[in-house]
Structure 1
Amino acid sequence: MARSKASERDDRRQLSRRGLIKWSLATGAALGLARWKVFEVLEDSAGTALAADAACQPTLRSVHIVAGNGGFAWFQLLWPHNEVAAARNNQFAFHAPGQETLAAGTDKVLTLGPQAPWKNLPGRRQVSAFMAGSNETHTNRPTTASTLMNQSIFAVAASLQSTNPSVIPVIAVGDAPYGDAPGAPRVSRVGSADDIVGLFNSAASREGGLLANTVDADLYTAHYQALIGLNRAAGRSTQLKTYETTQKAAGLLGTNLASVLTPTADDMNRYGINAGTRANVADLGKTLMVAAKAFRLGLTSSVIVPAMRDDPHGAFNDMGNLTSTVTSLGAVLDGFMAELDASPDDSCAGASLADNILITIHGDTPKNPLDRSGWPDGTPNNANWMYVL
């Protein structure tokens, strides 16, 4: 069908808007102007909407969930292979034959288990499932699905995210893999969600610390900003990102973030975590809670988190426990997305954190989807896959 003149005009207008933004940012950098000054000029000359478009972060934040020791198998119950679910065969490793649905509005068929998260997302934002890598049974650090041309996609993502100012660019929990890529920042490793909180809990702001008094903390931040203003290098385009990051760090130095980042009882309820939730699902949920809060505060751009690691060979021997586990897993992922959706993205006017997030899920082995008896580790043709949102 021929496109209307109005549609063609809108496309040309959008292209010209993007061109103006790129030209303005490039010119501003050449002149040594701070990005906020460029946005201010754009707002005065072209309007608030265009300035807001320019101010959006150029790369997404990301969460990478790495399931090891057979635990990746749980995720294929959320998003089963299309033909496995459609067969409705009680011998296949799908727990809910006949209860599956198809995601609406996707380019390719995506089958959803009854406990699958994110069902209400539009088709263009639904999960994509990629055949990727090979079976790496019983390792906690699978790499074949997350390596591209000898570079880790996690490190590649972190390298791209270096354009986004953050205090700690990338955080890995436990022994979750990170890898290497040109320009990738150094990873900060922590043992658990509680330790992520500790990364940002300034010793200076605690009781008895130099900046425990709010007045002292505010004065320190003001002094640091004044120092930048007096430093002629602050106007150089090559220094802008560094100064933006260090200003944020200066503000945080006088802020005790433990109470802001620590999961609350309300958080637990929103994520569906209670006394009966399996520990490995609860651990994943708590880490996602802290990640969402850290994203909201602009503290980090990427979190890599291990998941499950329980090798569920006998899962189909206890359907009640299986259903409870899958339900909790889906609820935790739904809770995370709901929190992101409710959090405005301060780096991009009119958008939420959910609009600017990338999530990957992969693991050592998804186990054999064609055999629920003992749920064997081996997969047809040694296959493996990855889910990406």
Structure 2
Amino acid sequence: MVIDALKNLEGPSRRRFLKWAAAAGALLAVDRARYLNILNDTAGVAMAQDASCALTNKSVHIVAGDGGFSWFQLLWPHVEIAASGNDNFAFHAYGEEESATDTDKPFTFGPEAPWRSFDKTKRVTGFMAGNNQTHTPTPGSAATVGNNQTLLAVCASIQRTTPSLLPVIGINPVNFGAAPGAPAITNVPDADGMVQLFNSAASRAILQEPEDAALYDAYYKALLGLNKAADRPTQLRGLRVGKQAAGFLGQNLAAQLQASDADLTRYGVDGGTPNKLRAIAKALIVASKAFKLNLTQSVILPAMRDDPHGAFGDMGTLRSTTQSLGKILDTFMADLAGMDDPSCTAKSLADAVVMTVHGDTPKDPRNRNGWPDGTPGDSNWLYVMGNGYVKSGWFGGVRANGSVDVFDPPTGNTVPNGDSSNTAPAAGAAVAYAVAKGDMRRVEDFYNGPSIEGIVNINPIQ
């Protein structure tokens, strides 16, 4: 019989109950199938489905160094900049902007902004965070959790509870940084390098015949059944990864991961598409396929890196660039929406991926003439798609008069005339909260700043 008090649990109470139930099941030696059946009978189908899913979300981190970050503020401009109608400001589409109606804070979409057709869990958050790092290829001031820990490494450390062959893949240049428990990053030169990671010599030469691959998989699983160490908690993670690897070894993963011509066409990429945009499209295509096969939990990729000081001198190219960038991001989300989450088949991958965009300098939003590198108050910011775990809209922002607002993490309230470098750790902690699927205790393993309850959803939007 379903117990309403359990069925109706939400937020932290729900997560605490799931952890307690899992621990109790382990102490009583209840196998996983029976454990899930008990949850289904006592706490309802939804609770059992939650328990069967991975404890973390996957993540994509777009790092737009060398001035390339400036393109993204055309997709998601500051509210007062887009509303100003001032042709001296760095916005390209006055009268075409759209004010969000379902965000927690005010937010404006440029006409090319992605994800507007998706539900409100895909709304973007703009956090004033970090300081200007002009012409840095691997910026990080806006992507930190404090205490010399990078956001990239913290997310990867949290994701280690969900096994993958290569926990985190980074396309060069990348500065992964450090955090306690973070796995080693696997670096590649480009999207094709990501594909070749899984085109192993072992799978090509040793197990190239399908029957050999199937036999190896069966042998490994039989070995697990005979291995007494398989029940020891200290051995479980390694054995789970090995079991997953056995299933993949011998498959032609390179062919499954490759960005096809049809894929590129869907992303709007053709022979005339600039390489800076083609590279992003290919990386996201391969990332979606790698997520589908559960080969990795996190992908880090560079973006744009073109230092577009003269962008507003050629409005035709500016418009086509922002249109292509928005379409690439939108198609990526559509692809994820069409793929089952391998760690939670009741949901799609679109509901299991957190995205961030940060860079060296967004350039001055108040001056399109030469689009200067300097920003008001030496400010910087971080864009986040938190998939329902992070409150949406602008937290802080650049005003039309050039002043810079930041935010108070415990309340989410606006703080006028602030320093965006001071709010970066809280913004990073909010991203970590989304990756940890709302597990605040896990976030506190890395973050010791003020409460972030004003910028995250304690009861996540589902």
TM-score above 0.5: yes
Residue 188 of structure 2 corresponds to: 190
SS in 2 for 1:114: coil
Residue 351 of structure 1 corresponds to: 347
1:254 aligns with 2:250: yes
TM-score (norm 1): 0.93
Q: Deviations over 1:131-167 (max 9, x none)?
A: 1100000010111111222110110000100111111
The one-letter amino acid paired with 2:157 is S
More off after superposition, 18-27 vs 313-322: 18-27
Residue 158 of structure 1 corresponds to: 156
The alpha-carbon distance between structure 1 residues 14 and 370, as it changes in their structure 2 partners (threshold 3 A), is closer
Displacement of 1:45 in angstroms is 6.9
Displacement of 1:30 in angstroms is 3.6
Is the contact made by 1:131 and 1:384 (CA closer than 8 Å) also made in structure 2?
yes
CA distance in 1, matches of 2:46, 2:6: 18
Displacement of 1:202 in angstroms is 2.4
Displacement of 1:384 in angstroms is 0.6
Is the contact made by 1:33 and 1:237 (CA closer than 8 Å) also made in structure 2?
no
Displacement of 1:16 in angstroms is 7.7
CA distance in 2, matches of 1:376, 1:386: 19
CA distance in 1, matches of 2:308, 2:298: 29
Q: Deviations over 1:57-91 (max 9, x none)?
A: 11110000000110100000000110000001111
Is the contact made by 1:34 and 1:235 (CA closer than 8 Å) also made in structure 2?
no
CA distance in 2, matches of 1:9, 1:227: 39
TM-score (norm 2): 0.78
SS in 1 for 2:372: coil
Q: Deviations over 1:14-70 (max 9, x none)?
A: 988655532231123345666556435545776654332201111110000000110
SS in 1 for 2:64: strand
Q: Deviations over 1:119-141 (max 9, x none)?
A: 12333430000111000000101
CA distance in 2, matches of 1:29, 1:252: 29
1:231 aligns with 2:227: yes
Residue 29 of structure 1 corresponds to: 26
SS in 1 for 2:357: strand
Displacement of 1:266 in angstroms is 1.7
Displacement of 1:368 in angstroms is 0.5
The counterpart of 2:334, out of the listed 318, 333, 338, is 338
Is the contact made by 2:6 and 2:42 (CA closer than 8 Å) also made in structure 1?
no
Matches within 5 A, 1:271-286: 271-286=267-282
Residue 87 of structure 1 corresponds to: 84
The one-letter amino acid paired with 1:129 is G
The alpha-carbon distance between structure 1 residues 158 and 32, as it changes in their structure 2 partners (threshold 3 A), is farther
CA distance in 2, matches of 1:13, 1:78: 34
Is the contact made by 1:156 and 1:184 (CA closer than 8 Å) also made in structure 2?
yes
Matches within 5 A, 1:358-373: 358-373=354-369
The one-letter amino acid paired with 1:251 is G
The counterpart of 1:118, out of the listed 115, 137, 144, is 115
CA distance in 2, matches of 1:330, 1:85: 17
Matches within 5 A, 1:252-331: 252-331=248-327
CA distance in 2, matches of 1:116, 1:122: 14
The one-letter amino acid paired with 1:272 is G
The one-letter amino acid paired with 1:217 is A
CA distance in 2, matches of 1:56, 1:352: 12
Q: How many residues align?
A: 381
CA distance in 2, matches of 1:121, 1:345: 17
Is the contact made by 1:176 and 1:304 (CA closer than 8 Å) also made in structure 2?
yes
The one-letter amino acid paired with 1:329 is L
Is the contact made by 1:56 and 1:347 (CA closer than 8 Å) also made in structure 2?
yes
Displacement of 1:238 in angstroms is 2.9
CA distance in 1, matches of 2:190, 2:268: 19
The alpha-carbon distance between structure 1 residues 330 and 384, as it changes in their structure 2 partners (threshold 3 A), is same
1:104 aligns with 2:101: yes
SS in 2 for 1:308: coil
Structure with a larger share of its residues in helix: 1
The counterpart of 1:59, out of the listed 49, 56, 61, is 56
CA distance in 1, matches of 2:380, 2:65: 13
CA distance in 1, matches of 2:270, 2:68: 21
Displacement of 1:103 in angstroms is 1.7
Q: Deviations over 1:342-362 (max 9, x none)?
A: 111121132110101110000
Q: Deviations over 1:238-266 (max 9, x none)?
A: 32222111111112121120110001122
Residue 171 of structure 1 corresponds to: 169
SS in 1 for 2:341: coil
Is the contact made by 2:59 and 2:354 (CA closer than 8 Å) also made in structure 1?
yes
Residue 8 of structure 2 corresponds to: 11
User: Which ranges in structure 2 are unaligned for 5 or more consecutive residues?
Assistant: 386-462
CA distance in 1, matches of 2:163, 2:31: 13
Is the contact made by 2:75 and 2:326 (CA closer than 8 Å) also made in structure 1?
yes
CA distance in 2, matches of 1:382, 1:65: 21
More off after superposition, 237-246 vs 267-276: 237-246
Residue 178 of structure 2 corresponds to: 180
User: Which ranges in structure 1 are unaligned for 5 or more consecutive residues?
Assistant: 1-6
Is the contact made by 2:6 and 2:43 (CA closer than 8 Å) also made in structure 1?
no
1:127 aligns with 2:124: yes
Is the contact made by 1:202 and 1:256 (CA closer than 8 Å) also made in structure 2?
no
Q: Deviations over 1:187-212 (max 9, x none)?
A: 11011101111111122232xx1211
The alpha-carbon distance between structure 1 residues 15 and 281, as it changes in their structure 2 partners (threshold 3 A), is closer
SS in 2 for 1:185: coil
